[in-house]
Amino acid sequence: MYDKEKLKDLPQNPGVYIMRNKPGEIIYVGKAINLRNRVRQYFHSTSQLTAKTAVLVSHIETIETIVTDSEMEALILECNLIKTHHPRYNILLKDDKSYPWIRLTVNEEYPRILMTREYKKDGGKYFGPFTSSYAVKNTIEAILKIYPLKTCNRQVAYGKKSGRPCLNYHIGQCQAPCQGNVPREMYAKDIQSILDILNGRHPDLLKNLNDKMTAAALAQNYEAAAKYRDQIAGIEHIVEKQKISSSTKQDQDFIGFAESENLGCVQVFHVREGKLMGRDHFFLEDIGDVSSREVLESFVKQYYASCGFIPREIILKEMLEDKKVIEEWLGDLAGKKIEVLSPQRGQKIKMLEMVADNADLALKQQLLEKREKEIRSKSRLVGLSELLGLTRPPSRIEAYDISNISGTNNVGGMVVFEEGKLNKKACRRFKIKSVEGQNDYASMQEMIFRRMERAMKASEGNNFLPLPEIMMIDGGSGHVNAAESIVSLYPVEIAVCGLVKDDHHRLRGIFFKGTEYPIKKATPLGVFLFEISEEVHRYTLGYHQILRKKEMLASQLEEIPGVGKKRREALMAHFGQVEKIKKATLEELQAVPGMQVKTAQAIFAYFKNKT
């Protein structure tokens, strides 16, 4: 528990406070204009704290502070620390995936259109972010059918021929500027048309194409008229009908929020030049009784810190407490004036209501799917416990597998399923140390022994993880007996069973207490056991392949004159990996202990010739 006497020693400057629990983990990060006054609030009025904050305070062991020159610097630091450490009691935007953008490389002489998941200030034009990579790929494909831009990264220039045209040119899907005969002015017109489509200025483009189609038809140039007709149809297919949300043609984000059952959903509608171009939603877990204003403020700071594009207006139903500081910070990030608005009437409030309705709908759908998964997971575990005769469904299952090639790079893998779901953080890999050659039974015994020994040392502060109710061994009776012989040495009750495969290495049944039970693939239990079998095999094989690749790379060194096993080991010990040896200078190679000048020169020359 934190010593309140230390509160008087806290600085009264603006900055960030970092709260840690007894093991030293960061559990909360916050910012303040006056650090001492802000932190005192957690301890001077505990009866008025929310339930979640009261729990936080009970776990605080130490508080660190970082003083900054301004509140805005504190806000930036707070965002960075939350993103880095993911403190348990902060509201976290857990959706870390990167969203797709459409990128037009207008900084190139002959631009390309492509999908990217990284927004960069590289002179290109970016459109998005979008929530569906499938939709982005379809849009790009449709645009390229109308405007056959180059898709390769070959360096081209007008008047210069660069190799032969590729297949895309011969099937009419590229203009082949690599031949040096595509005028930049003509290519630029296509690029401008694409920009008009992506910016929502397609009505003028469609009118222009319609006029050209009519003129071509009147001149009986039916081939050109058909081309314009196809372009018009393609553009209409690309550009969906959009809801006009603003007569000002402004770039805006409308943000709505809904909460239920300790889960929150933030919905963002992206309006670009007055048109609704897309939407996005994020789920926030364990929000407790935190106010919606706090949730939205945390979301705005985390979302716009890394989203790439920031619109001129960010519109929410509730006014943020740090509105001015956030506007200033976002303005610095975007390089333009940013406004955070909270309208009370008019068209914008109607749009916010629609966004909130969508957030509520997405939240209800998420909760429904969550309940369905829980029911499905429970039915799987109940079926397994009934099959094995357990008194209750298992909360933790561990599956084990061995992988090697003729006894080399012998490794084991352990995957963990908790409450029927894979827990990736709990999975472990083992490099088999005591077994020479191919002996899967002995390798399995070593892995189980090491796992059990670590568990038994929990009282010594070395808690490997809680023991499971079920251990699943990839194999039949021999593998199960090998594992059971180790488990039986300890005062625990763990059901050890085997995942039996057929001749095609497909799951056939489960072996338990001397009996093999066939598995029906179409049942919930059959699907569950198949998932466990596939996951432990994939996980273990992946580790084996990593080690094998490292060994193969390291063995390359022995092809070099003067490099034997001892010299190779010295090089690997010094550099750590072959890639660093490849990039090393002659002086760096000569610095390896025991390295002769002639050998260093041979190594340097060998990799130089390989590049």
Tell me the pLDDT tens digit for each residue of 276-307: 666 788 888 888 778 888 889 989 988 888 77
Residues of the chain with CATH 3.40.1440.10: 4-85
Give the Å distances, CA to CA, from 595 to 509, 567, 579, 601. 56, 8, 19, 10
Q: pTM score, two decimals? A: 0.54
Tell me the average pLDDT of the chain. 83
Write the pLDDT tens digit of every residue in 220-259: 888 888 888 877 876 666 654 344 444 456 888 999 999 8
Of 89-93, 178-182, 398-402, the one with minimum mean pLDDT is 89-93
> CATH classification of 560-610 is 1.10.150.20, yes or no?
yes
Write the pLDDT tens digit of every residue in 150-184: 888 888 888 888 888 888 888 888 888 898 888 98
Residues of the chain with CATH 3.30.420.340: 396-551
Residues of the chain with CATH 1.10.150.20: 560-610
Greater pLDDT, 444 or 274? 444
Q: What is the CATH number of domain 396-551?
A: 3.30.420.340
- What class, spelled out in words, does domain 4-85 have in CATH? alpha beta
Which among 121, 123, 124, 122 has a CA at the least distance from the CA of 102?
124
Enter the tokens of residue 119. Answer: 């927004």
Stretch 592-611: mean pLDDT:
80
Q: Is 455 left (phi over 0), alpha (psi -120 to 50) or beta?
A: alpha
Sheet containing strand 275-285, edge to edge, reads: 275-285, 263-272, 252-260, 313-316, 339-341
Q: What is the CATH number of domain 252-364?
A: 3.30.420
**According to the model, what pLDDT value does residue 338 have?**
92
Cβ 299 vs Cβ 326: under 8 Å: no
What span, in angstroms and rounded, lies between the C-alpha atoms of 12 and 209?
Answer: 66
Greater pLDDT, 144 or 577? 144
Stretch 394-413: mean pLDDT:
85
Of 349-363, 417-431, 575-589, the one with minimum mean pLDDT is 575-589
